Amino acid sequence: MRIRSALAMLLSTVLVGGSLTSPARAGGNGLPARHSLRAPVTDENFYFVMADRFDNGDTGNDTGGLGDDPLVSGFDPTRPGFYNGGDLAGLRRRLDYIEGLGTTSIWLTPSFKNKAVQLEDGPSAGYHGYWITDFTRIDPHLGTNEDLRALVDAAHARGMKVYFDIITNHTADVIGYQQGARRPYVSKDVSPYRTATGRPFDDRDYAGTGTFPALDPAVSFPYRPVLEPGEENVKVPAWLNDVTLYHNRGDTTFSGENSYYGDFFGLDDLFTENPRVVRGMIDVYRTWIRDFGIDGFRIDTMRHVDDKFWQRFGPEVLTFARAHGKREFFMFGEVYDTSRPFGSHFTTTDRMQAVLDFPFQDAARTFASRGGPASGLARFFEGDDWYTDADSNVYQLPTFLGNHDMGRIGTFVVTDNPGAGDAEWLARDRLAHELLYLSRGNPVVYYGDEQGFTGAGGGQDSRQSMFASRVPEYLKDDLLGTDATHAQDNFASTHPLYRTISGLAALTREHPALRDGAHQNRYADDQAGVYAFSRIDRARQREYVVAVNNSEQPHTAAVPTYAAGQAFQQVYGTGPAQLRTAGDRRLTVTVPPLSTLVYAAAGRIPGSTAAPAVSLAAPAPAAASPGRMEVTAQVAGDSFYEVTFYAKTGQGGWTPIGTDDTAPYRVFHDTSGLRSGQRVEYRAVALDDAGHTATSRTRATRVAPPAVTIEAPAEGRQVRGTVEVRAVTDPERASQVVRFERGIGDGAWTAIGQDSSSPAYTVVDDLTPLGLAAGTPIRYRAILSEPGGTRVTSAVRTVRYAGPPVTVATLRYHRPAGDYTGWGLHLWGEAVDPATLATITWDRPMPPTRIAGGWAEFDIPIADDTEPVNFIVHQPSGDTVPSTREPGGDRSFTPIDDPQVWIVQGDPAVHTTPPPTT
């Protein structure tokens, strides 16, 4: 695409979306100053609920009409992996409770008809909603389509929206392979896709084009897809029963190419590069908007679907929703990653509205639960500019503290602070929710967190029912802030966390700037202590100061503000009713331990008397993502400013690329669609609080070539036999070709192959014929080439040839008191000798081989030292950290690299050298 056309398309997309505010005032050279974007959804309070685990309003649908056998119906209220009885009728009768929490939007886990039971997975049932067979019907365990309509209507009557959790990546596990079920992944390099006539092709060459080769199950895939008798037409709509509309490459390991093309534990992975799949998914979800008035979508597994799919799906669904009266229709995706450059890719390059803010979850837990440095939280918020572009920014992101996959915030505060006691756990939980509600973004409360739910971990352990449970694992849980247990209903509006969250929702409703006002870092201690930030009411020019303290002691901070001698009124927390800033414009606050204070200025921010001087630093490719250009503006002065950035290429006009309202003023311009070496010009227009504007001088740069990075094998790893060498590029383009070379020791480079099939570039290097000695250094590099002559060489990756296979790995475990009775290893994975695995169950962990030198030593027989040994240290059936299970969740090590590892009580790290024990 020509550059002028690309920029024109970007601008037209922004205008069609209708989400850019009108220019605030024309700056110099005719470029308008703009206000920072506030899309329609920047002030929601989400309540995320799993319908099966909320309330049972209709016991008649418990078995979904499938009879009483749990392995058929999937209903067993005594087991965490089966339907427990909750439904849409239960949700509807509890709307008072949900509304009382201050909820404005209810987000439901997937509610479509699921495959009731998958015997291969435990067995377990589709209570969670992610094993869909019929995308047009509500799962009969949860009710009917009419029940959904009644719920939506009742929520709308109360002013609450209803969001669906949707899936475009996969369906239930229905397709098998002629070669056997749930096979290992086969890469496109080993076995490329083939047309129905047998011609090899790369699907990425067709993604987004509207055309696709005809395929044949017998010749097109590495595994031949087959359907069991009776399941040929089980999926709805009918097009989903065409087995050529799936990737059919085997199970993913969630890395590299297979994270896009592999099956999730056998779930049928849709061929989203095929326009038939794109069209089909758009049609499916348009129907729910049109017929049921759904207000938005949370999109599952977004990171595992190709870019071209989202670039079509997002804008088309959004346009349809707005045409059907849903002006505030909103979609956000699950991108389970804490990298801002990676997560923001989906809201910039892929044109989606928002993603779940996983980096916020990690930062909030580190601060509130782990007592991390306050300065870490400040650095986190400085990275918000990654999300700023012309039609979206960080204020739209849903923020959260835990969920149904990773676990609950209540679990984290207990795990991170063993033995602290209920008062501290409750205080840290409350502090986390205060940060959630008072910082930028749309807060999400995971159902049950408001009742102090905890749990042994993530997944099933974090999916307790709100109604009285019969699940033994849940009955063991200790709830925070209450004497209640899971043996009773837990809908107490008097629970201290319910009251806290309800109060925070009321506070932000009364003071809207605390929801979507500009978020400006103000102060941060280098250790645990105070992090302070301002929220700015742009319309009223009013400043709020929020100070959160994660220390167990009171902390005093002198917080910068915009005004000297300004009175501030307390609106939240425990402290003086009124404070006043000093002559240096600092507001001195003393924040109690594990607490929050909020003060609101009594007057306006003093108006600026003249336009601030603004200049641009030299634009440069972002170190973390070469396909994004970091453009930074320096603004003279210290008032409230908003800076709009513009870009221009060739003879085209100036196009807005984002407005930032917090210092440092930056955007990370997406240049991935521009050719290497293309000249790009930038300007910035600053707007002050009195309406004055100033425009910077033009700064120009050229688009950098893509980067190529070897992703595998890892640096320093031991290798043997055949080695998969894998590279990734940034930005990735279908036209790229990557050549790989190998050097032995200090020897010459030798070509070992090339790959032109994106998104990951892979060759397999067979080292066996070389007869290498153990410890021999092996170097790899990748050379990227593009049409037009671009050529880039990766950094060198060095590994070493391994010696003979490891047959026994040793894990050493230290408990200072020497109390090893009952403690053992739960093991799983392909590394461990199957005979050993056959002796291990959850209630019978592997015991120590011996106790030596104060350590319990476990000798683990190994079948494949290149695979990870997965383990949990616990007591028989023990699942409570720290009394019967060690922290750290599922841990692992790879014997070929580390045949010996050390574990210390209470420490989640896996040490590869002996750690200190005192």
Known catalytic residues? 300, 334
Dihedral of CA 437/167/341/680: which sign?
A: negative
Q: Which helix (H) or strand (E) holds 433?
A: helix 422-438
Q: Are 393 and 519 within 8 A, CB to CB?
A: no
Dihedral of CA 359/436/441/667: which sign?
A: negative
Q: What are phi and psi of 177, to 5 degrees?
A: -120, 145
d(CA 203, CA 198): 14
CA distances 543 to 373, 445, 575, Å, are 25, 27, 18
Tokens representing 200?
A: 């090899």
> Of 598, 594, 592, 596, nearest to 554 (Cα)?
592
What number of other Cβ atoms are within 10 A of residue 209's Cβ? 10
> Of 250, 253, 234, nearest to 242 (Cα)?
234
> Of 104, 85, 91, nearest to 49 (Cα)?
91
Q: Which helix (H) or strand (E) holds 409?
A: helix 409-416
DSSP 645-698: EEEEETT---EEEEEE-SSSEEEEEE-TTSPTT-EEEEEEEEE-TTS-EEEPPP
Cis peptide before 845 (omega within 30 of 0): no
Tokens representing 662?
A: 């917090």
> Across the chain, which distance is largest between two alpha carbons, in Å?
81
> Of 39, 24, 40, 43, nearest to 640 (Cα)?
24
Q: 3-state secondary structure string, 217-254?
A: CCCCCCCCEEECCCCCCCCECHHHHCHHHECCCCECCC
DSSP 801-853: E--SPP-EEEEEEE-TT---TT-EEEEESTTB-HHHHTT-BTTBPBPPSEEET
At residue 172's C-alpha, the angle toward residues 166 and 175, to 5°, is: 140
DSSP state of 848: P
Tokens representing 696?
A: 């910077």
Task: Provide the residue type at 691 as one letter.
Answer: G
SS3 label, residue 340: helix
> Of 17, 802, 7, 738, nearest to 352 (Cα)?
17
Alpha helices in 264-335 (DSSP H): 275-292, 307-323
> Of 704, 635, 702, nearest to 663 (Cα)?
635
Burial of 194 (0-12, 13-18, 19+ CB in 10 A): middle
Q: Is 306 left (phi over 0), alpha (psi -120 to 50) or beta?
A: beta
Whole-angstrom distance between the N-terminal and C-terminal Cα of the chain? 63
CA 259 to chain centre: 15
Our separate counts of H helices and E strands in the chain read 17, 51
Q: Which helix (H) or strand (E) holds 60?
A: none
**Exposure string for 219-231, b = 16+ CB within 10 A, e = fewer:** ebbbbbbebeeeb
> Of 256, 262, 184, 340, nearest to 710 (Cα)?
256
Tokens representing 772?
A: 């290498």
Q: Are 442 and 392 within 8 A, CB to CB?
A: no
